[in-house]
Amino acid sequence: MSIFKSLKIRRLQENYKNNRRINQMRSVKVLSVFLILSAVLFYFGGCSSAEQTTAKLAYNQGDYKKAEEEFLKETNNNPTNEEAWFYLAMSRAQLGKADGVKTAMDKYRGIGKNTFRTELTEAWGTMYDRGYKQYEDGEKIAKTGADNDAVKKFQESLNNFEIALALLPDSAFVKDNIAALNGRINTILVKPTIDKGVELEKNGDFAGAINEYNNGLSKVTKGSGAYEVIIYNISLANLKWGEQLREANPDDASYKDKYNAALPYLEELTSSTDKDNKLNAYELLIQVYANLGQNEKAQDAIKMRDQLKNDNN
């Protein structure tokens, strides 16, 4: 099983692009950056407080840390100031503070006016585009073998997707991208462990290999792509170990212990959303069930394997 799966990171959906184009046609000026650093975006009714005036100035000058501090003061003094909450979120977005963006946006949405929907859509699109670009850069770096640098770029991408999700929590495919990226990062982080395990297997040290794989399980999220790679390797190592024991002493039934050790992991893999992982699991389960005398289950596994093969054709 390949340790690296292709990520299903999605670009902006067509309906979003179409809506974006409509909004742009309605606007006198195309909003092509994260936020236009212009006073046009800061329409305030009535007089601004000293904190808000300072915050607007700092924001326009690109001093987002100062803007965050002053907008926060304003929201503390005036909790119903929708615009202050919104631009507090925008300041934090520029600073890469995903959790802070979520907190401010929850307050903004709680007021219920939704005044800045156009700015919000543009901000979301820019954060998404930025995250996607960083993901692509990470994949290019990963191909060179510089895994640590690739992880840093993926983490930057992940943070921007999390900010996009904080801006528009109903973005289901952003959630999918976050899950895929977490799996990708986990896979890279455990790659040295897996490589060491594979090397131990080659040298016949199956116990050592399984120990390495088990260490890797503590570093990944259950159900992630990296998790599935590890449990597959644990299963395969146990099966190889069992075969080694049976070849050494055909009359010793202790080899079945290794098959039984592999069984729960392989059965778990049959629920994978990855068709290749499911197919690989059933291929091994046929062997496991047959050697454990579970012939009916072996026949069912054969049917499932054949069905998956036909589906892939």
Last residue within a domain, chosen from 170, 194, 221: 170
Asked if 300 and 219 sit in the same domain, the reply is: yes
The predicted-structure confidence for 196-251, as pLDDT tens digits, reads as follows 999 999 999 999 999 999 999 888 888 888 889 999 999 999 999 999 999 999 88
Asked if 163 and 198 sit in the same domain, the reply is: no
Check pLDDT > 60 for residue 14: no
The answer to whether position 90 is within a domain reads yes
The predicted-structure confidence for 113-170, as pLDDT tens digits, reads as follows 999 999 999 999 999 999 999 999 999 999 998 998 999 999 999 999 999 999 999 9
CA distance 36 to 44: 16
CATH number of the domain that residue 60 is part of? 1.25.40.10
CA distance 197 to 236: 11
CATH number of the domain that residue 199 is part of? 1.25.40
The answer to whether position 36 is within a domain reads yes
Q: Which residues of 164-180 are buried (b: 16+ CB within 10 A; e: fewer)?
A: bbbbbeebeebeebbeb
The answer to whether position 8 is within a domain reads no
Asked if 24 and 152 sit in the same domain, the reply is: yes
Q: Phi and psi for 292 in degrees, rounded to 5?
A: -95, 5
Asked if 207 and 157 sit in the same domain, the reply is: no
The answer to whether position 254 is within a domain reads yes
CA distance 269 to 266: 5
Asked if 155 and 208 sit in the same domain, the reply is: no
pTM above the 0.75 mark?
Answer: no
pLDDT for 45 equals 40
For the residues 275-279, what does the mean pLDDT come to?
92
Tokens at 268, concatenated: 């778990």
Q: Find, among 268, 189, 184, 199, the residue nearest to 231 by Cα.
A: 268
CA distance 91 to 68: 6
Asked if 211 and 118 sit in the same domain, the reply is: no
Tokens at 291, concatenated: 């050697």
Last residue within a domain, chosen from 145, 170, 195: 170
The answer to whether position 281 is within a domain reads yes
CA distance 208 to 281: 23
Check pLDDT > 50 for residue 5: no
Asked if 52 and 105 sit in the same domain, the reply is: yes
pLDDT for 8 equals 55
Q: Phi and psi for 32 in degrees, rounded to 5?
A: -105, 0
CA distance 237 to 210: 7
| Cβ-proximal residues to 39 (8 Å cutoff; 6+ apart), any chain | 56, 60
CA distance 4 to 13: 25
pLDDT for 47 equals 55
- Band of the pLDDT at 103, cuts 50, 70, 90? very high
The answer to whether position 177 is within a domain reads no
Check pLDDT > 70 for residue 2: no
Count of the separate structural domains present in the chain: 2
Asked if 214 and 253 sit in the same domain, the reply is: yes
Check pLDDT > 60 for residue 25: no
Total residue count of the chain as it appears in this document: 313
Asked if 165 and 25 sit in the same domain, the reply is: yes
For the residues 86-98, what does the mean pLDDT come to?
97
The answer to whether position 238 is within a domain reads yes
Asked if 27 and 146 sit in the same domain, the reply is: yes
Last residue within a domain, chosen from 122, 145, 170: 170
The residue segments making up the domain with residue 86 are 14-170
| Portion of the chain with pLDDT greater than 70, in percent | 84
Asked if 125 and 242 sit in the same domain, the reply is: no
CA distance 172 to 70: 33
Asked if 37 and 166 sit in the same domain, the reply is: yes
Q: Where do runs of H (alpha helix) occur along the chain? A: 14-26, 50-60, 64-77, 82-94, 98-111, 117-143, 147-167, 172-202, 206-217, 225-248, 255-269, 275-291, 295-312
The answer to whether position 21 is within a domain reads yes
